[in-house]
Homo-oligomer: A and B are copies of this chain.
Amino acid sequence: MKRNSRLSLALHALGHMASAPERMQTSAEIAAHAGTNAVVVRRVFGKLRNAGLLLSEKGHAGGWRLARLPEEITLADVYTGLEEQLIAPSRDSDAPDCSVEHTLHTKLAHIMSDMEDMLLKRLSTTTLADLRQPMREASLDAVSSAP
């Protein structure tokens, strides 16, 4: 995994959790499925917990689960919860001394801000429920009669 994988990781994992919302999943399980490390999962999930999307529990039967119904968590919630910026910010100096730079910065900042709004609007039309896999016998069993 390389760049900007936090959002991918989060959406992928939450999508699966949406398929079985009652089930607690450990960082290790999630990490194994996503091909990454448990600490990385905890880092990412920690932000989502702070954002009110996930609940975590310590101890023997601990782990992670969704804090709300899958239908009530949008992709925009996850995106903002992670405080990421898919829309690249313009990294000019804040107070450019040259007029060209100043004009450019102003125009680009405006455009990028609009783009960010647009992205959020689009992401908010999909919920975790839209991602979950069709329920199968196996996963139903896993919910009701986990060992």
Contacts and interface: CB of A to CB of B under 8 A. Distances in A.
Contact of A100 (B19, B99, B111, B118): B19
Nearest to A33: B98
A115 B114 CA distance: 11
A37 interface: no
A12 interface: yes
Interface string A123-139: 10010001111100000
Contacts of A99: 133-134
A87 B19 CA distance: 30
Interface of A: 2-5, 8, 11-12, 15-16, 19, 75, 86-88, 90-92, 98-101, 103-104, 107, 111-112, 114-115, 118-119, 122-123, 126, 130-134
Contact of A126 (B19, B101, B107, B115): B107
Contacts of A130: 103, 107
Given A111-B123, A118-B115, A119-B111, A12 B91 contact: no
